[in-house]
A and B are shown apart, each in its own frame.
Chain A
Amino acid sequence: MKELMIGNAALARGLYEAGCSVISSYPGTPSTEITEEFAKYGDVYSEWAPNEKVAAETAFGASLRGKRSACCMKHVGLNVAADPLFTMSYTGVNAGMVICVADDPGMHSSQNEQDSRHYAIAAKVPMLEPADSQEALVFAKTAFDLSEQFDTPVFIKMCTRVAHSQSIVEKGEREEHVKEYVKNPKKYIMAPANAIARHPFVEERTRKLTEYAETSALNRVENGSGEYDFGIITSSTSYQYVKEVFGDSVDILKLGIINPLPVKLIKDFAAKVSKVYVIEELDPIIESHCRNIGVDVIGKEKFSIIGEFSQKTIAQAFGLEAKENVCLDTDVPVRPPMMCAGCPHRGMYYVLAKNKITVLGDIGCYTLGSMPPLNALDMTLCMGASVSGLHGYNKAGAEETEGKTVCVIGDSTFMHSGVTGLINIAYNQSNSTVIILDNSITGMTGHQQNPTTGYNIKGDPAGKVDLESLCRSVGINSVRVVDPYNLEECERVVKEELAKNEPSVIISRRPCVLLKYVKPKKPLKINPDKCKGCKRCMKFGCPAISFRDKHAVIDNTLCIGCGVCAGLCPFDAFESEVE
């Protein structure tokens, strides 16, 4: 049956049909749904790992044991998994292993625009790049076959537009693939003597894979009608934009294997056309390869190294006429994302902003605390960097910074890579105050369980990390828990902990309001007779409160009745309905 599926769901289906039995991942947009969809299949094992390195190593262990395995991550997650990656390239696999990585050109939900294809080249690991959902499914199966045939982990590289676009997919049946585990120290123990012997294998493998890429059906030439005499080399979502603009009027070399790239195939293609354009998002990977093999191409001088493409980008670069449209004269105010009405993070941020505290931030919903009117953050770098960064900041600033600087990190991010930074604070004794914003879920990526929630990916009860005990056991003596809906308590505890001459942790604990078990209360109302229009409540930055006709008003479709705003009003104008 034909079915619409997002690329990530189709990829999950492909992994499943290929006999993948173990998947371990850390969520990250735009990769999250691969694992979520895979977890819906009953007869296979799936899990959320604390971070991408753990996920990749778990998948490796499963492959070693003889089961086909996969791990999934976003582009920046691959940085975390890079350590095992580079050596897995040397060991190779037992049963097939696939690493799914999703890039985010345009940075819809990311802190940088790095191009994962560099990792495939650097680690000498093959990489396949599907251009729609059906290809994602088919490529997943091919990836496992290649993994076993060439003894290597294999990348499948997604991007936002392939990962999150639905297109039509035809499903197949699952096939089981199991291997024996045979002890083989020369292959699996990468101590120098063995690794030295293994490196030539890696180089020879790349040579063989290049040969494979010359004739593989994953790379294909589409001969055009001859309307244009130039040719285009492209892949992934760029292929779709090229087809949207040119249809069948131009010769196209559509690449599905992005590492290693073919040589003869490209030379032969180039020889038949007047000139060659390379159209690829982000870095000039295919373009550089073409130049290296002596094929003259037009690439980044015409197509930007920055951001996403679209059919318009391509059409413009070729000087084709723009489509007619309507433009308004009115300025349309931006609508940036923001913390939800009732979000527990807002209370803590309000207190930090009010007291003009320097706040080193981290990756999650709470990065939105940087937005007006709270403007509460000073830094966001990568997962876990708030904690280690605070340590360095205070080592450099000493008494000048210690009493007025904190870091904030979510529960899932703390598990991912915050705890190592906290160990450094305890070990090397910086007078730092770490605030864990514990909303009992991985929020931004759409509510995944994590080691602090007590539930696994299927929602079944699981092991639960006790944050207070963990912090104490690494050597933090002062560990306090506050409710971020209680602004008075938050302010008092933050001030007390900052005043102490020792490392400390404040756990700001209240579940995300979007969790199903958090029942919203009746929306508040504003008594217009009491409201003096002082706008103090507007400083809270709650999307449910706006200002009309000299009074604050509450949008009752957004307000969840948390009541925190009521405490900010000096005139008691906020009234809650009796339930």
Chain B
Amino acid sequence: MATKNIMIVGVGGQGSLLASKLLGRLLVDEGYDVKVSEVHGMSQRGGSVVTYVKFGDKVYSPIIDEGEADFIVSFEKLEAARYIKDLRKDGTVIVNTQQIDPMPVIIGSAEYPESVLDEMTSKGVNVDAIDALSLASQAGSAKACNIVLMGRLAKYFDIPYEKWEAAIEKCVKPNFIEINKKAFSLGYNN
């Protein structure tokens, strides 16, 4: 199988680590060669963060370059726009509609581009927008946004639902399994 490329992007502290852990676990269990790559350190302090998840028969480069991503899962609207150059033609963006102002917007030296999702759609990108924050709160924790978005991503894959659930059970602390399973199903079914 040709390598499939998934990017998870967002703002440092939004929980992309758990999302990539879940995907990694699932894809290794499915028997693929897998690479998961992210940068730790300075950029995590409220900065823009990106994780690359790649799987297939044999994966070489740990990073995803311009025009290579099959999916971009974005935890925040503006961040989807930042990394759209990495999406392949006909690729899909799954985006949480939450808006988090970056510092240039906070201090008034830049404006938040409100209509980026419309622009993406007009340029032929498949935009799958979802209010993951509300769905996560509905599941019992605003922090479960990441798993809501994984639930939405799962719709695009042939991997059985139970296997995703099994991966959640392996990756999440026992106390949080139920909330995360609910968050996953809300992302999958809405």
Binding site for B on A (CB under 8 A): 2-4, 29-30, 32-33, 108-109, 132, 160-161, 164-168, 237, 240-241, 243-244, 310-312, 322-340, 365, 368, 371-373, 444-446, 535, 538, 541, 543, 545-547, 555, 557
Contacts and interface: CB of A to CB of B under 8 A. Distances in A.
A372 B103 contact: yes
Nearest to A314: B61
A167 B63 contact: no
B45 A445 contact: no
Contacts of B11: 335
A4 B81 contact: no
Nearest to A341: B46
Contacts of B42: 29, 108-109, 337, 444
A445 B66 CA distance: 29
20 contacts: A108-B41, A164-B37, A240-B62, A241-B60, A310-B65, A311-B63, A323-B88, A324-B88, A325-B67, A325-B86, A326-B123, A330-B115, A330-B119, A332-B113, A334-B110, A335-B79, A335-B102, A336-B102, A538-B106, A546-B101
A171 to B, nearest CB: 14
Contacts of A243: 60-61
Interface in B124-146: 124-125, 142
B102 to A, nearest CB: 4
The 9 A-B pairs at the shortest CB distance, nearest first, are namely A323-B67, A109-B41, A337-B47, A29-B41, A325-B67, A165-B62, A335-B102, A333-B110, A244-B61
Interface in B45-66: 45-48, 59-63, 65-66
Given A109-B39, A167-B62, A335-B46, 17 more contacts: A165-B35, A312-B66, A324-B89, A326-B123, A327-B84, A331-B113, A333-B104, A334-B104, A335-B11, A337-B12, A337-B43, A337-B46, A371-B103, A372-B107, A444-B41, A444-B42, A545-B106
A339 B12 CA distance: 11
A441 to B, nearest CB: 14
Contacts of B12: 337
A327 B82 CA distance: 10
B87 interface: yes
A433 B40 CA distance: 33
B109 interface: yes
B45 A335 contact: no
B28 interface: yes
A445 B120 CA distance: 36
B92 to A, nearest CB: 12
Nearest to A368: B45
Contacts of A167: 34-35, 59, 62
B131 to A, nearest CB: 14
Contact of A310 (B39, B63, B88, B103): B63
Q: Is the interface of A mostly helix, strand, loop or mixed?
A: loop
Contacts of B38: 164
The winner among A109, A330, A444 for most chain B CB atoms within 10 A is: A330
Contacts of B24: 4, 166
B68 interface: yes
A538 B67 contact: no
A326 B44 contact: no
A55 to B, nearest CB: 19
B85 interface: yes
B78 interface: yes
The winner among B47, B88, B106, B125 for most chain A CB atoms within 10 A is: B106
Nearest to B42: A109
B103 A328 contact: no
Contact of B88 (A312, A325, A535, A541): A325
B36 interface: yes
A150 to B, nearest CB: 32
Given A4-B34, A29-B42, A337-B12, A332 B87 contact: no
B63 to A, nearest CB: 6
B36 A166 contact: yes
The winner among B41, B107, B142 for most chain A CB atoms within 10 A is: B41
A241 B81 CA distance: 25
Interface string B141-180: 0100000000000000000000000000000000000000
Contacts of A166: 24, 34-37
B188 interface: no
Contact of B39 (A32, A108, A555): A108
B37 A338 contact: no
Contacts of A29: 40-42
A330 B103 contact: no
A168 B116 CA distance: 37
A555 B46 CA distance: 13
B105 A333 contact: yes
B72 to A, nearest CB: 11
A543 B103 contact: yes
Contact of B123 (A4, A328, A446): A328
Contacts of B61: 240-241, 243-244, 310-311
A168 B109 CA distance: 44
Nearest to A133: B35
Nearest to A167: B35
The winner among B65, B66, B67, B109 for most chain A CB atoms within 10 A is: B65
